[in-house]
């Protein structure tokens, strides 16, 4: 009997050796070596979803003070994205998500959220550390959404074991009930498409009116947008004054070495060869002031003058368009500055080309 008893004990011990931790043995029944290094994203939004505006990110908290990951929310033109990510070995077993236009729209009982009643939920056969819900966008820009992001997490103890199961929430405001659950808000972001902003080049503004081109636009809008004419340069030194749309066509394009003015001009022509800085500055000024004057110049409700230079290699990186214009006028007018005519001309050229015809975006400018 004793020998038989020892045999049974040995078999049980051997079983415990291989299973590791009894009831805590891997509840997911998967290969942890694979799961811990693999990111699974059901409903993958694609490699490069075009984020509109600013995303938000909140911490996934357990018990209000243990950081176990994050929830990131953003939208593009078509979808709302809610991305769960866990850290420090925590892995998702289930997620529950509710998105509503009011707090009352989140399923609750006596002020306590009911995750099992949430409209979006997933149970994972294999543990994951990242997952993204992709929800078709049915709300307009500016709509405030109320989100309750809940997850059930487990953490591995040994290679084939898990310890502790946690119920966690995306950090934010307390629900009115007695639980430690929280919710947060997100405003649907406005999406600015490539065609929302528009610029034209020197060559475009020099065109004779034909089939609704830039030359036609200038003819139709110059007087109302530039009632005193288009003036560039420094009022303290030298300036160029273009008094009509035809004067613009006679003057542009200007090529040659960019340089400062040595005298003032009224309605100069292309043959005066005043350099590319003068021509590029005239074109930028047309773009910026037509955009301010006429809401139909570009489709965006925002203005070119508020755009920022986005190229870190540019000496004007981070400058707003208004600052660039001010500095360019000083340089062209012959004032002493820290910038050369060549630097200014290159920057203005890239501005004029950035949103050409409202169909391109070369990335030199960005809306803040």
Furthest C-alpha separation in the chain: 117
- Retrieve residue 261's tokens: 């003015």
| CA atoms in the 13 A half-sphere facing the CB of 295 | 1
Contact criterion met (CB below 8 Å) for 232 and 282:
yes
Does the model's pTM come out above 0.85?
no
Residue ranges per structural domain of the chain: 23-187, 194-366
* pLDDT for residue 1: 41
DSSP one-letter string for 262-324: SS-EES--GGG---HHHHHHHHHHHHHHHHHH-TTSSS-SS-GGG-EE--TTSTTTT-BHHHH
CB under 8 Å to 19, separation ≥6 — which residues?
A: 25, 160
- Retrieve residue 109's tokens: 């009982």
Tell me the three state secondary structure of residue 168: strand
CA 287 to CA 283: how far, in whole Å? 6
* pLDDT for residue 157: 65
CB under 8 Å to 138, separation ≥6 — which residues?
A: none
CA 251 to CA 253: how far, in whole Å? 6
Quick one: which of 110, 176, 105, 185 has its CA closest to 149? 185
Contact criterion met (CB below 8 Å) for 177 and 110:
yes
Tens of each residue's pLDDT in the chain, 368 residues: 434 433 333 333 334 333 344 433 333 333 333 333 223 233 343 444 568 888 999 999 987 789 999 999 999 989 999 999 999 999 999 999 999 999 999 999 999 999 999 999 999 998 899 999 999 999 999 999 999 999 999 987 665 555 667 899 999 999 999 888 999 999 999 886 655 899 999 999 999 999 889 999 999 999 999 999 999 999 899 999 999 999 999 999 999 999 999 999 999 999 999 999 999 999 999 999 999 999 999 888 889 999 999 999 999 999 999 999 999 999 999 999 999 999 999 999 999 999 999 888 899 998 87
Q: Report CA-CA distances (Å) from 147 to 180, 238, 262, 280.
A: 15, 59, 63, 49
- Retrieve residue 122's tokens: 């997933």
CB under 8 Å to 260, separation ≥6 — which residues?
A: 238, 277, 331, 332, 333, 334, 341
* pLDDT for residue 20: 40
Rounded to the nearest 10°, the torsion over CA 287, 291, 293, 295 is 150
Quick one: which of 247, 266, 240, 269 has its CA closest to 328? 240
CA 252 to CA 259: how far, in whole Å? 16
* Strand (E) or helix (H) holding 29: none
Q: What is the DSSP letter of 139?
A: S
- Retrieve residue 21's tokens: 């931790």
């Amino acid at each position: 009997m004793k020998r038989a008893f020892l045999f049974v004990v040995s078999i049980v011990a051997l079983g415990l050796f291989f299973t590791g931790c009894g009831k805590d043995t891997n509840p997911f029944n998967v290969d942890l070596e694979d799961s811990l290094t693999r990111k699974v994203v059901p409903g993958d939004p694609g490699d490069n979803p075009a984020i509109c505006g600013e995303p938000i990110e909140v911490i996934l908290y357990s018990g209000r003070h243990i950081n176990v990951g994050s929830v990131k929310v953003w939208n593009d033109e078509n979808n709302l994205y809610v991305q769960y990510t866990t850290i420090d070995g925590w892995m998702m077993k289930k997620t529950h998500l509710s998105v509503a236009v009011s707090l009352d729209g989140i399923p609750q009982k006596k002020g306590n959220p009911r995750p099992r009643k949430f409209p979006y939920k997933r149970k994972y056969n294999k543990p994951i550390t990242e997952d993204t819900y992709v929800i078709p966008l049915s709300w307009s820009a500016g709509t405030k959404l109320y989100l309750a992001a809940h997850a059930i997490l487990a953490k591995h103890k040994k290679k084939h074991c898990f310890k502790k199961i946690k119920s966690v929430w995306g950090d934010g405001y307390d629900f009115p009930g007695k639980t430690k659950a929280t919710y947060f808000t997100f405003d649907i972001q406005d999406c600015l498409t490539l065609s929302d902003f528009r610029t034209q080049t020197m060559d475009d503004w020099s065109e004779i009116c034909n089939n609704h081109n830039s030359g036609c636009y200038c003819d139709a809008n110059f007087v109302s947008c530039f009632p005193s004419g288009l003036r560039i340069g420094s009022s303290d030194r030298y300036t160029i004054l273009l008094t009509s749309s035809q004067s613009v066509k006679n003057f542009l394009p200007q090529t040659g070495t960019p340089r400062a003015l040595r005298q003032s001009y009224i309605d100069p022509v292309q043959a005066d060869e005043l350099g590319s800085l003068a021509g590029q500055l005239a074109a930028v000024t047309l773009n910026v002031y037509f955009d301010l004057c006429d809401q139909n110049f570009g489709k965006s409700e925002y203005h070119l003058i508020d755009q920022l230079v986005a190229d870190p290699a540019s000496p004007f990186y981070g400058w707003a368009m208004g600052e660039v214009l001010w500095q360019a006028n000083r340089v062209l007018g012959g004032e002493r500055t820290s910038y050369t005519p060549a630097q200014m001309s290159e920057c203005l050229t890239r501005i004029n080309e950035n949103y050409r015809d409202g169909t391109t975006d070369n990335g030199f400018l960005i809306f803040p």
